[in-house]
Structure 1
Amino acid sequence: MLSLADVLDARDRVSEVARHTPLEYSHTYTDMTGAEVHLKLENFQRTGSFKIRGAMNRITTLSEEEKEVGVVTASAGNHAQGVALAATRAGVDSTIVMPEHAPITKVKATERYGGRVVLHGADYNDAQDKAHEIEAEEGRTYVHAFDDPYVMAGQGTIGLEIVEDCPDLDTVIVPIGGGGLISGIATAVKEQVPDARVIGVQAEGASSVADSLKKGEITPLDEVDTIADGIATRNVGEAPFEVIRERVDEVVTVSDEEIAVALTYLLERSKTLVEGAGAVALAALLFDKFDYEEDEVVVPALCGGNIDMNTLTTVIMRGLVETGRYLKVKTVLKDRPGALEKLIDVLAAQQANIYAIRHDRTSRDIAMNAAEVELDLETRGEDHVEEVLDALREHGYSVEVLA
């Protein structure tokens, strides 16, 4: 079982490259939840995520013979960057296998840090299989993303910083993919503050740990489907699973919609950019996925900020929809002068801002003398959305909500 001594040993090795990231009190989320919320901003870490910690701890403990041959790993993107940078700093050659659809920003960043990238497979598990082939063929050392005691200990240095910066900690909320991060943090926190809770969070579309805990054994998923690609793994590691069972108090799940809302709040209210995996801890708090007391000191770990810009656009839009800030509707007008103006007058009276209007006179679903109209609207919240829809219906418009 991983120990506090392992994490303390890792601190000196990790501090050569990794930053001690900020822990910031948030008025916004304290007011929203009633807890005393402090955000662990690991998205400000070098390479944009916590992964540099575990990678550095592992690579600095390689033998000279292992360093000479080089390392190989598999990653959805964040571990890839950590291994590439740590290996380059240590003068070690690195090969990183990433899924074929890995975010291009993570691929390019990995290459800039000095790693040779091989794209293979649909997800992390497929990439891992390919990486093991390269391991066998070239004799490289495989640096596991999470199922490795040195990697787990390196990630646990975050827990040391949390306890140091927030000694009155009650609860820390940690994302879970393969389990390396939470096993390290739970070890560092529990052995220093035994009464503190550690809550793990997974995406609903990649809930391997939650399912495994229910069944009492590691149960791989057939597939994963979530916007939180950084924690999209089909199974938890064996070593992390044992630590999770021993030291993690509860594991909960959040939906992609809830992740999108948390990510949008962080951008808008905290001026902080995170990726999907980086938002799950806050999402669990905002959507009451676990019980907590008023004024309880809670630390959500924002574990990474490496989000693809195309994905970010989609996630923000979903977040706006979920919070009632964006509304897309479809209705049918008589195809005659003034019909569109009357519709716009109704929306203007409700102070709904129009982003875009699209006409379609060719749809087979409408009469020959009609036009189908789609409108993208800016709204001010869920109550305003209902007011807009009620006004349209009161004026005789049949409205279909598209988003």
Structure 2
Amino acid sequence: MTTTLPTDVTAAENRIRAYVRHTPVLRAEVDGRPLVLKLEHLQRTGSFKLRGALNALLAGPRPEHVITASGGNHGIGFATAAAILGLPATVFVPSTVPPDKARRIEAANARLVHAGATYAEAAAAAREAAGKPGARYVEAYDDPVVIAGQGTVGAEIVRDAPEVDTIAVAAGGGGLAAGIALGGHGRLTVTVEPERCACVHAAFAAGRPVDAEVNSVASSALGATRAGEKPFAVLSSHPVRSVLVSESEITSARDRLWEEFRLAVEPAGAVSFAAFLAGRVPGELPCVVLCGANAEWTPAG
């Protein structure tokens, strides 16, 4: 299987640089241990997804109409990327999409279509709709060009904090984690998932992508039922450790990010920090990626 190469991450940086934010890093000490926080939740659209969507739309021939499927964040990033480039866009979403994320997709001038109860069902409907002439379907995560776009997060971390030795990141279908593995220049990637929403962990256990349960407070962003074949190929050929966190660990980590740093992230954005707090992220100086902030919530207390 052909997978994207580190040089593709450099090409992606060159393509998308004019449209995305180079998000900052924050050096901190938590529970007596140093770490670096990558504030990717401050990205335009509130998550890293804009990077991969832009890279995919800029890398190929210009279509008449672009179509995708999303549980929320990819749809917002994709719709925004299409608007930036002046492309008509349609986003298929499952019935479980949070209303605020659906609203933001439509606010970016994309046509919103509800289809099915899961991301997989929405994706099947989107692929069928993309069969018309002039239309192009863009994968949310199972695409080397999308992976390379997400890999620009890792490239920024390496450039801004070269002493980082481990990068912890939430894993949905595996696109961001695979990009981090490529852009991280050999550093250990720790994929972090909720216990009941862990298709990448299940893929490592089975040796291949398999269907997995989707039942978590973070499932609107991490709700892939199966890891992508292409992300898994990348993750399987790089230094990667897969760990899980509980629901209570996720919400506690989210609330602590607000209380201690005044960083407001969605549950998926706190997953990697939850693993750090639980002692499941190794390294002398790990980096924790805060990947998204697209949720309406009120911190505990």
TM-score (norm. length: structure 1)? 0.72
Identity of matched residues, % = 39
SS class of match (1:205): coil
1:71 paired to 2:66: yes
Q: How does 1:139-178 map to 2 (within 5 A)?
A: 140-178=135-173
Report the Cα offset of residue 249 of structure 1: 2.2
Matches of 2:239 and 2:170, distance apart in 1: 12
1:126 to 121, 130, 135: 121
Question: Which 5+ residue runs of structure 2 have no aligned equivalent?
Answer: none
Correspondence for 1:305 = 293
Retained in 2: the 8 A contact 1:200–1:248? no
1:2 aligned residue: 4
**Paired position in structure 1 for 2:241:** 250
Q: Is the 8 A contact 1:71 1:94 kept in 2?
A: yes
2:207 pairs, out of 216, 219, 226, with 216
Matched letter for residue 288 of structure 2: P
Cα distance per residue 1:178-217 (max 9 Å; x no partner): 1110111111113xxx3x2111111111111111111212
Aligned residue for 1:271? 262
Alpha-carbon RMSD across the aligned residues, in angstroms, is: 1.4
- Distance in 1, matches of 2:226 and 2:118, equals 12
Partners of 1:245 and 1:4 lie apart in 2 by 15
* C-alpha contact 2:154 2:181 (8 A) present in aligned 1: yes
- Output the amino acid matched with 1:2: T
Secondary structure at the aligned position of 1:26 is classed as strand
Q: 1:26 aligns with which of 28, 32, 38?
A: 28
Indicate which of 226, 229, 245 corresponds to 2:216: 226
State the match for 1:357 in structure 2: none
For 1:2, what is the secondary structure of its paired residue?
coil
Cα 1:168–1:257, aligned 2, differ >3 Å: closer, same or farther?
A: same
Mapped partners of 1:107, 1:8: distance in 2? 32
**Counterpart-to-counterpart distance in 2, 1:197 and 1:60:** 30
| CA-CA distance at 1:113 after TM superposition | 1.2
Answer yes or no: is the 8 Å Cα contact 1:172–1:300 preserved in 2: yes
Q: Which residue of 1 aligns with 2:189?
A: 198
SS in 2 for 1:122: coil
Q: Contact 1:96–1:117 (CA<8 Å) still a contact in 2?
A: yes
Query: What residue number does 1:40 align with?
Result: 38
1:138: how far off?
A: 5.8
Structure 1 residue ranges without an equivalent (≥5): 321-403
State the AA in 2 paired with 1:105: D
Q: Is residue 56 from structure 1 mapped to residue 48 from structure 2 by the alignment?
A: no
What CA distance in whole angstroms lies between the structure 1 residues aligned with 2:60 and 2:95?
Answer: 29
Q: How many residues align?
A: 298
How far is the alpha carbon of 1:258 from its aligned partner? 0.6
- Counterpart of 1:155, as a letter, is Q
**Residue identity in the other structure for 2:103:** K
Q: CA deviation at 1:241?
A: 0.3
Alignment of 1:189 onto 2:165: no
| Residues 113 and 248 of structure 1: CA distance in aligned 2, closer, same or farther (over 3 Å) | farther
Which has the bigger relative contact order, CA under 8 A and spacing at least 6? 2
Aligned residue type for 2:235 = I
Q: Does the 8 A contact of 1:35 with 1:298 survive in 2?
A: no
Please give the per-residue CA displacement for 1:135-187, whole angstroms capped at 9, x wherever unaligned.
12465211100001110000000111000110111111011101110111111
Does the 8 Å contact 2:4/2:145 carry over to 1?
no
What residue identity is the alignment partner of 1:219? V
CA contact (8 A) 1:212 1:219 kept: yes
**Amino acid corresponding to residue 215 of structure 2 in structure 1:** D
The answer as to whether partners of 2:25 and 2:38 remain within 8 angstroms in 1 is: yes
Report the AA paired with residue 127 of structure 1.
Answer: A
TM score, norm. by length of structure 2: 0.95
Evaluate the alpha carbon distance shift between residue 138 and residue 121 of structure 1 in structure 2; reply closer, same or farther with a 3 A threshold.
farther
What residue identity is the alignment partner of 1:19?
A: R
